[in-house]
Amino acid sequence: MGRVNLDMDVLRTLVTAHELGSFNRAADRLGRSQSAISQQIRKIEAQVGEPLFQKQGRGLALTTAGELVLAYARRILDLNDEAVSAVRGFAIDGMVRVGLPADLAETWLPEVLGRFKRAHPAVRIEAVVDRNRNLLEAVDKDELDLVVALGNETRSDAEQVGVLPLAWIGPASVERLWTGDEPLPLVMYQTPCFFRQRALAALDAAGLPWRIAFTSPSLHGLWAAVEAGLGVTLRTTAGLPDCLRTVGDAMGLPVVAPPALTVSLHDGGRSLQPAAARLREVVIETLTASLRDLTASTGT
């Protein structure tokens, strides 16, 4: 039996249809008719011999076979796109200055920068990890070319790439951190901090007394204090260390409104040089997929 060669164009349609949740949206994105998209999906289903999608309410859901093919499709497309970018990348040089918050740095920074550097080896990258306020001030002063920031989607230069769920975080090894008959101990960033603002607003609205037990200017400091059992904190669930866990339901803590933060990319409203423009594409592609998967896994 001859080998089956999956069509790259069909794989891209499969990924797009899943990301957007319907064939209609995929057709609009790809500039094709819905019947053409449906025909492509039927083609790949015939090639693999299994249905890949099933109806779920008004949308689509992947079958078990569909999940498997989707995972391979993403890998194949990433490798294809990386190969094309690598060949073209020798024509791109210069420097890109990028900034992002600590919540995203350890989880996605190596993946994004590694992928970009392999494709564009002549480009020099300067990366800064800092708090949102400092990063946005830097991009406004033209000290950074691109900034990934949390919760600033109303800025005129914001391009939203996804959302991050918010959760109350506590130590994994401590069974009882708070008895409920005393103020809730909190571990927080120093002010100003919108995580801190949202946490205190939610507790005050629920009528729960609290006290600031520990403050830190860094995320590592927060994680260390929470692991030590000094208190709980409100953060995103991105890159949560194994020594910590979500504790909101177990401790009866209030739901924060809204329960997620937007993640946006900012360029200060300036035109980007080719190297920065290409990095912007890689950041959007990588974060959009990663944030979507994280949101799906937490049910947000």
- Among 87, 116, 149, identify where a domain stops: 87
**2, 11, 134 from 50: Cα distances, Å:** 18, 15, 51
Q: Are 122 and 128 in contact (CB under 8 A)?
A: no
181 class by beta-carbon count within 10 Å (0-12 exposed, 13-18 middle, 19+ buried)? exposed
Give the position of tokens 């904190």.
Answer: 233
pLDDT on residue 61:
80
**In this structure, are 139 and 125 located in the same domain?**
yes
Bridge partner list, 261 = 164
**Domain interval for residue 64:** 8-87
**In this structure, are 69 and 82 located in the same domain?**
yes
pLDDT on residue 298:
56
**In this structure, are 182 and 255 located in the same domain?**
yes
| pLDDT digit string (tens) for the chain, length 300 residues | 567 888 888 888 888 877 777 777 778 878 888 888 888 888 888 888 888 888 777 667 888 888 899 889 888 888 887 777 666 655 567 889 999 988 888 778 787 888 888 878 888 889 999 888 899 999 999 999 999 998 888 899 999 888 888 999 999 876 667 777 789 999 998 888 888 989 999 999 999 999 999 998 888 899 999 999 899 999 988 778 888 999 988 888 999 888 888 889 999 988 888 888 888 888 888 787 777 766 665 554
Residue 181 within a domain: yes
pLDDT on residue 208:
92
**In this structure, are 190 and 250 located in the same domain?**
yes
Nearest to 10 by CA among 80, 73, 64, 59: 73
pLDDT on residue 234:
94
pLDDT on residue 204:
94
pLDDT on residue 81:
77
**In this structure, are 103 and 66 located in the same domain?**
no
**In this structure, are 189 and 135 located in the same domain?**
no
**In this structure, are 170 and 236 located in the same domain?**
yes
pLDDT on residue 85:
66
The domain total for the chain is 3
**In this structure, are 208 and 152 located in the same domain?**
no
SS (H, E, C) 9-50: HHHHHHHHHHHHCCHHHHHHHHCCCHHHHHHHHHHHHHHHCC
List the structure tokens of 213. 């037990």
**In this structure, are 179 and 216 located in the same domain?**
yes
**In this structure, are 66 and 202 located in the same domain?**
no
CATH number (domain holding residue 56): 1.10.10.10
pTM listed for this prediction: 0.64
pLDDT on residue 145:
93
- Distance separating alpha carbons of residues 29 and 15, to the nearest angstrom: 12
pLDDT on residue 299:
53
Residue 273 within a domain: yes
- Among 69, 87, 105, identify where a domain stops: 87
Residue 1 within a domain: no
Residue 3 within a domain: no
**In this structure, are 31 and 177 located in the same domain?**
no
pLDDT on residue 175:
67
pLDDT on residue 274:
84
CATH number (domain holding residue 135): 3.40.190.10
